[in-house]
Structure 1
Amino acid sequence: MDVLASLLEGPRARGAFVVCSLLDPPWSLRIQDESPLTVLSIVRGTAWIIPDADPKRPESAAPRRLEAGDIAISRGPRPYTVADAPETTPQILIHPGQVTTTLDGELLCEALTLGVRQWGTDPDGATMMVTGTYESAGAVSQRLLRALPPFVVLRRGEFDGRVLDLLADEATRDEPAQGAVLDRLLDLVLITALRAWFAGNEAPAWYHAYSDPLVGKALRLLQHNPAHGWTVAGLAEAVGVSRAALARRFTDLVGEPPMAFLTEWRLELAADLLQGSEATIEAIARQVGYGSAFALSAAFKRHFGVSPRDHRHGATPAELSSAG
């Protein structure tokens, strides 16, 4: 399992919301759906993304123009606007659950329907864009999401656009298992875009660490075998270096010591298993390397701020809610 494969386990599309928008200017959509990750591609025409100002990153509020073939990835939950021009006032609000209303709260979902997964103001609109929205992202994916800027924009030619064309072609079809097809295509578009973005931009230290012959092997051993009783000495022996050499090199490249990385990985896996399976807390504890449900519960609450039981029943861990 490589770095992107492991970290993308969390935001894998499961019943993702995919829609084709057809719009004639002037138009402006205020996106406040709180989704953790959204993929937006322009099939025809142009659009502008206007981020909300982030006090920590004033430069992030600069509008970005998108042309046909371009793709943007939004890391939520901060609201933003998509419009035909930066100065166009928002006319439509997109709420959580993809509920669409006017500024006054009037529902527009039915009024703007143009066909299967199509909506907008004009079936022949000058702008056509396909949006894929991930409604949730697992705990494992938080390391990936924290590494991304609020918006990733790639131009056609900077990534393999064939999967994007496939997603656009399939978005408006109504075939058996179409939802599953769209989920898989959305995942392919996301992976293709992120792979291209990481290759051409300053990636976080841990991303490059996977290519190191020693630290990369250590990372894969920890991720593949979280239930193993790892120690720094045992991990060093497995990769063929001294304990001190591995600890120093791992910390330099990953940004944290091996056992700290392993603890976070185990707890993130447990968080996803709690919401993605019906296994008992005891079984999950042993699967991720804790000796008992009690040991997992204590570590889980320290890390996330809620108990495993509360997390399973929908409570939002404090750390996950602060990722945006």
Structure 2
Amino acid sequence: MAVALDSMSDRPTDPRLTRMDDALTTLLHDVRPRGALFDRSLLRPPWSLRFEEGTPLALLTMLSGRAWVTSVGPADGPGGAEPVPLDPGDVVIVVGSDPYVVADDPATAPLAVVHEGNRCTTPDGALLLDDLPMCGGDPDALDGLPMCAGDTDPPDPAGASAARPHGVLLKGTYQVAGSVSARVLDALPRIARIPAVPEGRPALEMISREIRRDAPGQQVVLDRLLDLLLVSGLREWFELPEARAPSWYRGHADPVVGRALKLMHGEPARPWTVASLATAAGASRARFAQRFTELMGQPPMTYLTEWRICQAADLLAHTDDTVEAVSRQVGYANAYALSVAFKRTMGIRPTEHRRTVHR
């Protein structure tokens, strides 16, 4: 217990800084699944699925077996992008609505196309009403088997030879909207692979169990579990050397800039100045401004303006608050002041933005 108390002693005493207002926490408030769609599929090689659902974000993992994920959008060329391996327990985040393929081997041509609403067709467009030969049967045949356990493969549910091991694919999709959420998506590559970590196994096991249940509140539970999987995946991804974490994430780790970011994210309506932020962050005005600009790539007040406008855009899109009310929530004296800043940043006035998103 003494160790825990000692570790708390280095934290800032300003009560405004004790709230979890780091950039990732704040940005993820609007990146939440609503009616998350999960699929768990037992697949017999050779198998290959082309996904054309158009959802902005998908999470994939193999509970057993290995797969490859390939982006095949218009920008990827005729052969698609470089295939990304997906080992048991890995999590892949697919960003954007362009098609992608998940297969047992990059050379396996798609045998089915999954459209919006889980409607499946053959590659030539014929509606699929029955299982394909690659579908290995009831995924519940996996009950009691270890999950994310390396090369452990489930037995053939039909009792056939296990010479060709099955794969178990778990997929969850997100409906994401909002200017704030876009900052998270913009910080990710088209396909982000997070290697398996022991901390991720409980969430995957809970999701797999919950999908098999038919109990009240199941959708809420799945939404929260997908939330957990995404947040933990993002944290792991941004810590990887190859991830090139965005400035708003890197800045949180800096003792000076991180304090200022928490305050800006947590209390955007306060009349912040460079001087007041520097004082709250425990640095001189000159040192704070220089450090912030070096780390974030823009001056403090420029960042604050962009953050306020992002929040205003989401409030206009998702609430019925008047422009006057929104202006006060994000740090502007009145609707006119917000309108000027909004048009300078977004290119349109707040009322035009609201009409556009409500079409």
TM-score range, shorter chain: 0.7 to 0.9
| Partners of 1:297 and 1:213 in 2: CA distance | 34
CA-CA distance at 1:96 after TM superposition: 4.1
One-letter identity of the residue aligned with 2:301 = M
Q: Which residue of 1 aligns with 2:222?
A: 182
* Match status 1:16 vs 2:31: no
Q: Which residue of 2 aligns with 1:116?
A: none
Q: Residue 275 and residue 178 in structure 1: after superposition, are their counterparts in 2 closer, same or farther (change >3 A)?
A: farther
Q: Which residue of 2 aligns with 1:263?
A: 305
Tell me the alpha carbon deviations over residues 11-37 of structure 1, each in whole angstroms, 9 at most, x when there is no partner. 111222222223223322222333222
| Partners of 2:90 and 2:73 in 1: CA distance | 23
| Partners of 1:219 and 1:198 in 2: CA distance | 17
User: What TM-score, normalized to structure 1?
Assistant: 0.84
Q: How many residues align?
A: 310
Q: Which residue of 1 aligns with 2:232?
A: 192
Aligned counterparts, 1:70-219, within 5 A:
70-108=90-128, 111=130, 122-123=137-138, 126-157=166-197, 159-201=199-241, 202-219=244-261
Q: Which residue of 1 aligns with 2:144?
A: none
Q: Residue 250 and residue 240 in structure 1: after superposition, are their counterparts in 2 closer, same or farther (change >3 A)?
A: same
User: What TM-score, normalized to structure 2?
Assistant: 0.77
Tell me the alpha carbon deviations over residues 265-293 of structure 1, each in whole angstroms, 9 at most, x when there is no partner. 11111222223333223212211112233
One-letter identity of the residue aligned with 1:193 = G
Structure 2 portions without partners, runs of 5+: 1-20, 140-155, 157-165
- The answer (yes or no) to whether the contact 2:54–2:98 under 8 Å persists in 1 is yes
| Partners of 1:147 and 1:127 in 2: CA distance | 30
Q: Residue 304 and residue 103 in structure 1: after superposition, are their counterparts in 2 closer, same or farther (change >3 A)?
A: farther
What secondary structure, in the 3-state scheme, does the structure 2 residue paired with 1:143 have? helix
Q: Which residue of 2 aligns with 1:288?
A: 330
CA-CA distance at 1:152 after TM superposition: 1.6
- The answer (yes or no) to whether the contact 1:17–1:135 under 8 Å persists in 2 is no
One-letter identity of the residue aligned with 1:131 = K
Structure 1 portions without partners, runs of 5+: 114-118, 318-324
- The answer (yes or no) to whether the contact 2:257–2:288 under 8 Å persists in 1 is yes
- Of all paired residues, the percent bearing the same amino acid is 45
Tell me the alpha carbon deviations over residues 54-89 of structure 1, each in whole angstroms, 9 at most, x when there is no partner. 8699xx922122222221111113321111211122
* Match status 1:47 vs 2:62: no
Q: Which residue of 2 aligns with 1:320?
A: none
What secondary structure, in the 3-state scheme, does the structure 1 residue paired with 2:29 have? coil
One-letter identity of the residue aligned with 2:333 = G
Runs of 4+ residues deviating >6 angstroms: none
What secondary structure, in the 3-state scheme, does the structure 1 residue paired with 2:41 have? strand
| Partners of 2:208 and 2:233 in 1: CA distance | 15
- Report the aligned-residue RMSD: 2.9
| Partners of 1:94 and 1:306 in 2: CA distance | 37
| Partners of 1:120 and 1:83 in 2: CA distance | 12
Greater fraction of residues in strand = 1
| Partners of 1:214 and 1:295 in 2: CA distance | 30
Tell me the alpha carbon deviations over residues 80-112 of structure 1, each in whole angstroms, 9 at most, x when there is no partner. 11112111222322334544333333344x645
Larger Rg: 2
One-letter identity of the residue aligned with 1:233 = A
- The answer (yes or no) to whether the contact 1:281–1:293 under 8 Å persists in 2 is yes
